[in-house]
Every structure is written in structure tokens, then in C-alpha cells.
Amino acid sequence: MEIEGKVILDLGMTSGTSKAGNAWKKKEIVVETFGTYPRKVKMTLFGERSETVGADVGQSYSFSVDVESREYMGRWYTDVSAYSSRLLTPPTPGEPYAQPAAAPAQTFQQTTVTTATTTAPADPFGSSDSDDLPF
């Protein structure tokens, strides 16, 4: 899954040791997506990715992410883990960042339809109203 947005907050690096004695580290960031209704998404960069995946505050990226939900004691938790990023090209001043290309617009060819004109049959009810309702 891809998420494009601007990194607005770096929540810092966390590290520790697992029960098995292995060292671990993770970096958490908050990204604000582009579009009419921007969303804020907290992402986790785990292990060596915390240092290798680009995520500088103020820069715009396209992140490749995995989304996973898990249950713990009757409650559900969702994690968004980024595993790679691509720096988006900054726009010229005054223009928004380029959005992903939308489906190509369909073009329609205008055609002219010629119909034969016929005289309408006489009104069987004899009404002189100009409305086209049958009742």
C-alpha cells in the first residue's frame, strides 16, 4: 500500500531489549496526506529501517507501508509500518504537490442526430394546455 504525504512530526527513536535478549529500535513519525481532506497517519519504522528509510520533517514522501491489526485482551490495535520511502519532487512556489495521476479522462465525440419532423397527432382530450403531463 502506498501513502503520500508530508512528514509533520518526528516522535523520536525508541529502543530496548526483547525477552529473548535481542536489541530492537523503532522510530515513529506522523505524516499528513495530500488531498481535499488531509489525514494524519502515525507510521512506525522498525529495526534498521528506522535509519535507512527517509523521513525528514517538512519533506514530502511516498511511503510503502504494511497495515496490520491485532487483538489484545478484547481490544483491537492497528499498526502502520513503513518499509520504504521515495522523496517527492517539491513543487514550484504557490503550487501544491502533484497528486497521483488519475485515470485518463474519457473524451466523447459530439455527434449530430437529424430526425425527421412529423406533425403531432391531435390531442384526443381537446385540452389547450401546453404542459406535457398526461393527467
pLDDT of residue 102 exceeding 50: no
CATH topology of domain 2-87: OB fold (Dihydrolipoamide Acetyltransferase, E2P) (2.40.50)
**Given pLDDT bands bounded at 50, 70 and 90, which one contains residue 104?**
very low
pLDDT at 131: 64
DSSP state string for the chain: -EEEEEEEEEEEEEEEE-TTS-EEEEEEEEEEEPSSS--EEEEEEETTHHHHS---TT-EEEEEEEEEEEEETTEEEEEEEEEEEEEPPPPPTTSPPPPPPPPPPP------------PPPPPTT----------
Domain coordinates in residue numbering, the chain: 2-87
CB 34 within 8 A of CB 61: no
pLDDT in tens, 10-33: 999 999 998 999 999 999 999 999
pLDDT score at 50: 84
46-55, 78-87, 117-126: segment of lowest average pLDDT = 117-126
Supply the pTM of this predicted model. 0.63
